Amino acid sequence: MKTSPKLSRRNFIGLSMAGAGALALGSTVSAMASCIGQPGKRLGIALVGLGGYSIGQLAPALQQTKNCYLAGIVTGTPAKATEWAQKYNIPQKNIYNYQTFDHIANNPDIDIVYVVLPVALHKEYTIRAAKAGKHVICEKPMALNAADCREMIAACKKANRMLSIGYRLHFEPHNMEVMRLGQKQVFRKVTGIDNANGFTYGGDPNAWRLNKALAGGGGLMDMGIYAIQGTRYTLGMEPISVMATQEKTKPELFKDVDETVFWELEFPGGLKTKGKSSYNHDWGYLKAQAERGKFELEPAYGYGGIQGKTSNGPMDFPQINQQAAQMDDFAHCVMTGAHTRVPGEEGLKDMLVIDAIYRSLDTGKWEKIQKA
Ligand code: NAD
């Protein structure tokens, strides 16, 4: 733990908004309480895996957090260790590689381990971190499949450590408004959702994201998970079955993983919603139709620039640093014992849907979605 610097106006606005949205939801009162923060105390976070997301988003966000700070790193690349140590003033004793990682158990500077690795490694490092006595944030998608998610949840429970998933949009004001509008039935019952997320993959054809063993799948695992989440948190319900189809226009690039996937989810009561994901289309919207109006976000899922409107006009919420709000909230949950609004169970619920989508792609039929 470390003493906190002054709270910046930007952080204050972000965290206040997160709190307001959670209050509106009602079901997450403890989550609202968890946004307030304790002055003077900061928990140490160690990032495991210093790739694009750690470099571009998490480390910069940790310069803005008030409940936690970048205390350590775990990397297999000695040059990165040197660079990060200098850039972020990280002491040598807080730097680990994948072989020495378990010694983190003896390091009181590290309270939380944040797993930012390729998906196939999430389970191993989450379980090792919990066994080392650390609380864990694991990036999305939580694991290769729901069975692995269950193992991760059980391991953290057994070690009496908290587990959270890097679902930053639960702290983003426009997305929180959509949760409120849908779950509180502000425009009466939601009667339809059309939801899409994707980007045109132009990266390395040999990257882990295109390798099924490391990524678990393609656009569905990486991008579709946001659309599945978005539908679940708009309705505040769990889907019971799914029917999916796919399209592959670049089989040489996406030989191992899905390119574009379309699905229909069925909810209790009979509501059916539409979703799609892609590594070959630039999509990012959530559109909800309700009995007495409609609401939508576009762009819906980025790090910033989120925009929304309802039948009554445009939404007016600030853009915040989502990662800073997400990590500050988890640090506060760890400090106070409040429940995180994005626990491992949230990751599991998305993976249950994704597992059923892959089954449906195989069978060509509607597939039941297992209960969490
Ligand atoms: P990346 O490829 O940029 O970085 C992955 C890191 O893992 C690299 O530093 C790499 O060296 C390391 N690594 C360790 N073992 C490896 C192995 N066996 N194979 C390949 N790399 C290995 O990936 P990223 O974009 O930083 O994604 C990491 C995780 O973060 C993924 O789960 C991804 O879905 C998630 N992510 C989340 C968001 C978000 O908005 N929440 C955004 C981007 C990425």
Ligand 1 mutation target, pool 116, 138, 172, 221, most atoms within 8 A of CB: 116
Task: Say whether both 104 and 180 belong to one domain.
Answer: no
Task: Say whether both 18 and 123 belong to one domain.
Answer: yes
Task: Say whether both 129 and 267 belong to one domain.
Answer: no
Reported as a pLDDT band with limits 50, 70 and 90, residue 33 is very low
Widest pairwise Cα distance in the chain = 59
* Averaged pLDDT, 24-53: 64
Kindly list the catalytic residues.
140, 226
What's the gap in Å between 140 CA and the centre of ligand 1? 10
Task: Say whether both 256 and 177 belong to one domain.
Answer: yes
Q: Judge whether 3 lies within some domain.
A: no
Q: Judge whether 23 lies within some domain.
A: yes
What's the gap in Å between 205 CA and the centre of ligand 1? 15
Task: Say whether both 130 and 205 belong to one domain.
Answer: no
User: Which residues are 278's β-sheet partners?
Assistant: 198, 260
What's the gap in Å between 54 CA and the centre of ligand 1? 8
Task: Say whether both 150 and 47 belong to one domain.
Answer: yes
> The sheet that has 112-115: what strands, in order across it?
95-96, 68-74, 43-48, 112-115, 135-138, 163-165
The verdict on the CB of residue 224 being under 6 Å from ligand 1 is no
User: pLDDT digit string (tens) for 81-132?
Assistant: 999 999 999 999 999 999 999 999 999 999 999 999 999 999 999 999 999 9
Reported as a pLDDT band with limits 50, 70 and 90, residue 22 is very low
Residue 43 belongs to domain with CATH number: 3.40.50.720
Domain boundary among 147, 168, 189: 168
The verdict on the CB of residue 302 being under 6 Å from ligand 1 is no
Task: Say whether both 177 and 298 belong to one domain.
Answer: yes
Task: Say whether both 242 and 205 belong to one domain.
Answer: yes
Residue 230 belongs to domain with CATH number: 3.30.360.10
Q: Judge whether 330 lies within some domain.
A: no
End-to-end CA distance of the chain: 35
pLDDT for res 245: 98
Task: Say whether both 156 and 239 belong to one domain.
Answer: no
Distance, in Å, from the CA atom of 189 to the CA atom of 111, rounded to the nearest integer, reads 42
Task: Say whether both 141 and 240 belong to one domain.
Answer: no
Question: Does the pLDDT of residue 10 top 60, yes or no?
Answer: no
Q: Judge whether 232 lies within some domain.
A: yes
Domain extent for 154: 9-168
Q: Which atom, in ligand 1's list, is nearest to the CA of 54?
A: 26
Q: Judge whether 50 lies within some domain.
A: yes
Ligand 1, atom 2, lies closest to the CA of 51
Domain boundary among 168, 187, 203: 168
Distance, in Å, from the CA atom of 160 to the CA atom of 174, rounded to the nearest integer, reads 33
Number of domains in the chain: 2
Q: Judge whether 324 lies within some domain.
A: no
Reported as a pLDDT band with limits 50, 70 and 90, residue 41 is confident
Instruction: Dig out the tokens for 143 from the structure.
Output: 């694991």
Q: Judge whether 39 lies within some domain.
A: yes
Task: Say whether both 143 and 234 belong to one domain.
Answer: no
Residue 81 near residue 70 (C-beta atoms within 8 A): no
pLDDT for res 101: 98
Domain boundary among 120, 151, 168: 168
Q: Which atom, in ligand 1's list, is nearest to the CA of 209?
A: 2
Ligand 1, atom 18, lies closest to the CA of 118
User: pLDDT digit string (tens) for 181-231?
Assistant: 999 999 999 999 999 999 999 999 999 999 999 999 999 999 999 999 999
SS (H, E, C) the chain: CECCCCCCHHHHHHHHHHHHHHHHHCCCHHHHHCCCCCCCCEEEEEEECCCHHHHHHHHHHCCCCCCEEEEEEECCCHHHHHHHHHHHCCCHHHEECCCCHHHHHHCCCCCEEEECCCHHHHHHHHHHHHHCCCEEEECCCCCCCHHHHHHHHHHHHHCCCCEEECCHHHHCHHHHHHHHHHHCCECECEEEEEEEEEEECCCCCCCHHHCHHHHCCCHHHHHHHHHHHHHHHHHCCCCCEEEEEEECCCCCCCCCCCCEEEEEEECCCCCEEEEEEECEEEEEEEEEEECCEEEEECCCCCCCCCCEEECCEECCCCCCCHHHHHHHHHHHHHHHCCCCCCEHHHHHHHHHHHHHHHHHHHHCCCEECCCC
* Averaged pLDDT, 311-332: 98
Question: Does the pLDDT of residue 63 top 70, yes or no?
Answer: yes
pLDDT for res 1: 54
Reported as a pLDDT band with limits 50, 70 and 90, residue 40 is low
pLDDT for res 5: 34
Question: Does the pLDDT of residue 35 top 60, yes or no?
Answer: no
Which percentage of the chain shows pLDDT scores above 90?
A: 89
Fill in the amino acid letter for 161.
R
The verdict on the CB of residue 325 being under 6 Å from ligand 1 is no
Task: Say whether both 161 and 213 belong to one domain.
Answer: no
Q: Specify the pTM.
A: 0.92
Q: Judge whether 293 lies within some domain.
A: yes
